[in-house]
Structure 1
Amino acid sequence: MIHELKEIINKAIINQEKGLKNVLASVVFLEGSSYRKPGVRMLIAEDLSSVGAVSGGCVEKEIIKRSESVFVDEKPKIITYDGRYRLGCEGVLYILIEPFFITTKFLKEFYKTTTAREPIKIESHFIKQDEAYGNFGSTVTFKNQQQFTFSDAFSINSKDEVDTITQVLQPAFRLIIIGGEHDAVKLCRIAANLGWEIDVITSAKDSKKLSDFPGANSVVGESPETIQFSDITENTAIVIMNHSYVQDLKYVIKLSEYNPKYIGILGTPKRRERLFNELFEFTPNISDEFLDNIYTPAGLHIGAQTPEEIAVSIIAEILAVIRKKEPFSLRKINGKIHTS
């Protein structure tokens, strides 16, 4: 996911400033099942500190140990990790370990792309062998077709026969929180831990500061009469928590012009009926599709009571809606958890 790559890049820059070399470990192929899937990465510094994870914890220790040769000779290699005997995951991981250096030109293009919320394509080239050396490595291609590698040891134009894994990282999931009270702060904090990009809209009469919402990307004071939304129809959820029915109604009317995929609103079932009735009065042409995207009371019914628990229930509902899943206990599954 893009937020994991961003964390890796930020840490790599810090390490480079300290004079430390970095290597990138990427899961490029999987035989059987594992805790995480191909495309996950971790960064290892020359002092053997690390950021990111490719599994649940045990794999990382061995990857760090086996990465030491790459620091010495700067030659990328492929290793395998058989989890069938150690993790109980019934899978064999193929892991690419490559030198990892961030140039100023790459960094500029990376942050330009993430700010514009554009996808990034990463291709990793490898072979399915253990402790194999060769012309292996990754390329990053941006929307403007600029392409970068992480190491001079890897040649894109080589004609060697290798396997390739292609991954398109979509922009970070975006959460818009409309409200400025303590429960909005809790929702912001927990969502930030998921790597979501969070924009907070508070009252124009009582605007808050960015420092009031740890993890937020922006905090602005606005009103439903003047607010203008952009790029909210895909990969975005909106949670309205004003604790003011009138303000909630005004924002929903405004959002009917955009039709986002998820609108969560705090409240009660009785409040929901009133909201829908008045929506028809103010916007008689409102679509059934828009109404279907309104979730109020917001959140899954998991017995949540505290602001933190309510935030968890709302985030769980957002994930279920966006990923088109009907929530139930995983103990009811007999086969694979992930089908793709």
Structure 2
Amino acid sequence: MTHEFKKIVEGFISDKKKGLKSVLATVVALDGSSYRRPGVRMGISENGELTGAVSGGCVEKEVVFQAASVFKTGSPKMMTYDGRFRLGCEGILYILLEPFDVDDQVLQQLKEALCKRTEFAIASHYKKEYGVCNGLGSIVVLKGARIPLRRNFNSGQETELFSQEMKPIYKLVIIGGEHDAVKLSYLALGLGWEVVVATVPSEDKQLADFPGIDALWNVEPELLPVDEIDAQTAVVLMTHSYVKDLKYLKALKKAEPMYFGLLGPTKRREKLFGEYMELYPEEDYDFFDAIYGPAGLNIGAEAPEEIAVAILAEILTVIRKQEPMLLRDKKQGIHN
């Protein structure tokens, strides 16, 4: 969710420079089932441009239509969307529409929090009924400070509250600069993740070799900035070099990513671990247990793009604590 909010903030910045108003749409409650759940947001520009989505594409036109009055009056409102009769989703969406209007100082605080990977929360005051109400609106809670997303906002006493923790955007560190690393970076960027590629100077790689990535760590393994690998970061070691992999394992020993994947077959992994233990006999090897190797789910992947899908699917499975299965075999709903 955080990566979507980041794009909405970027869209607001762009609108503000153009002198355009913005409206923020937030799904704050749901009765039944729907394509997406509470906490999804969409930015609406006065010129009709949309950033993000609150559904698979079927609700957005109605949201834009309802937002017209918010642009005109500057007053927040609630809208409902009954998917039981239109979509077959068997759910009713409750969507808060509010002016997105903050000053430059607040904007800078939001940008810094997103850039520095600082956790924050968003609290939205809403009602489960259609209509205009000045007590509706959202507040960002950042380092103890409460920052309204529109000027002069005072929450209503009789509203309900939807609160959401916004953790840092998922980050993927790809160690290796070959063709398959490019494919993996491309798909991860499509998920809205921050992507960093790590190579060594002798590979002569440039930032432009990996279109769209956030950073290139062009350093020797022992100089890898491991402190930038946090609990919202996944690491995939895919250098295709046995010697480099040994060096990177040493560098990453104390890192605690949310996922650590190792490319290559089981025999290679066992040989790699065995040689590591011979080189460093006095070390603790418990970190081996946290490594997923061979990286990826068993989906029959062969092409680099398919392998990238398998790896990203495994990362999501691990960090969301899910058991891979066909959804048609799931006895409960899609979302627990």
Q: What is the distance in 2 between the residues matched to 1:285 and 1:34?
A: 54
| 1:1-340 to 2 correspondences below 5 Å | 1-143=1-143, 145-152=144-151, 154-156=153-155, 160-284=157-281, 287=284, 289-339=286-336
Please list every run of at least 4 consecutive aligned residues from structure 1 whose deviation after the TM superposition is greater than 6 angstroms: none
Which stretch has the larger CA shift, 166-175 or 260-269?
Answer: 260-269
Q: What is the distance in 2 between the residues matched to 1:174 and 1:206?
A: 23
Query: Do 1:76 and 1:153's aligned partners in 2 also have CA atoms closer than 8 Å?
Result: no
Taking a change above 3 Å as real, the CA distance of residues 135 and 222 of structure 1, as seen in their structure-2 partners, is: same
Instruction: For residue 60 of structure 1, report the CA deviation from its aligned partner.
Output: 0.9
Superposed CA RMSD in Å reads 1.7
Instruction: For residue 288 of structure 1, report the CA deviation from its aligned partner.
Output: 6.1
Q: What is the distance in 1 between the residues matched to 2:131 and 2:225?
A: 55
- Secondary structure of 2:236's partner? strand
Question: Could you give the per-residue CA deviations for residues 65-108 of structure 1, whole angstroms, max 9, x where no partner exists?
Answer: 11111111111011111111111111111111001124211221
Query: Do 1:79 and 1:132's aligned partners in 2 also have CA atoms closer than 8 Å?
Result: no
Amino acid at match of 2:158: E
Structure 1: gaps of 5 or more residues? none
Query: Do 2:101 and 2:151's aligned partners in 1 also have CA atoms closer than 8 Å?
Result: no
Q: What is the distance in 2 between the residues matched to 1:89 and 1:289?
A: 46
Instruction: For residue 246 of structure 1, report the CA deviation from its aligned partner.
Output: 0.9
Query: Do 1:135 and 1:153's aligned partners in 2 also have CA atoms closer than 8 Å?
Result: no
Structure 2: gaps of 5 or more residues? none
Amino acid at match of 2:135: N
Taking a change above 3 Å as real, the CA distance of residues 321 and 88 of structure 1, as seen in their structure-2 partners, is: same
Query: Do 1:261 and 1:322's aligned partners in 2 also have CA atoms closer than 8 Å?
Result: yes
Instruction: For residue 286 of structure 1, report the CA deviation from its aligned partner.
Output: 5.3
Query: Do 1:203 and 1:223's aligned partners in 2 also have CA atoms closer than 8 Å?
Result: yes
Q: What is the distance in 1 between the residues matched to 2:184 and 2:11?
A: 26
Using structure 1 for the length normalisation, give the TM-score.
Answer: 0.93
Instruction: For residue 29 of structure 1, report the CA deviation from its aligned partner.
Output: 0.9
- Secondary structure of 1:26's partner? strand
Taking a change above 3 Å as real, the CA distance of residues 226 and 43 of structure 1, as seen in their structure-2 partners, is: closer
Amino acid at match of 1:64: V
Taking a change above 3 Å as real, the CA distance of residues 5 and 245 of structure 1, as seen in their structure-2 partners, is: same
Query: Do 1:256 and 1:286's aligned partners in 2 also have CA atoms closer than 8 Å?
Result: no
Q: What is the distance in 1 between the residues matched to 2:34 and 2:286?
A: 38
Using structure 2 for the length normalisation, give the TM-score.
Answer: 0.94
Q: What is the distance in 1 between the residues matched to 2:99 and 2:256?
A: 45
Q: What is the distance in 1 between the residues matched to 2:88 and 2:161?
A: 27
Question: Could you give the per-residue CA deviations for residues 102-158 of structure 1, whole angstroms, max 9, x where no partner exists?
Answer: 421122111221222111111110111112433111111212x333222236214x5
Instruction: For residue 237 of structure 1, report the CA deviation from its aligned partner.
Output: 1.1
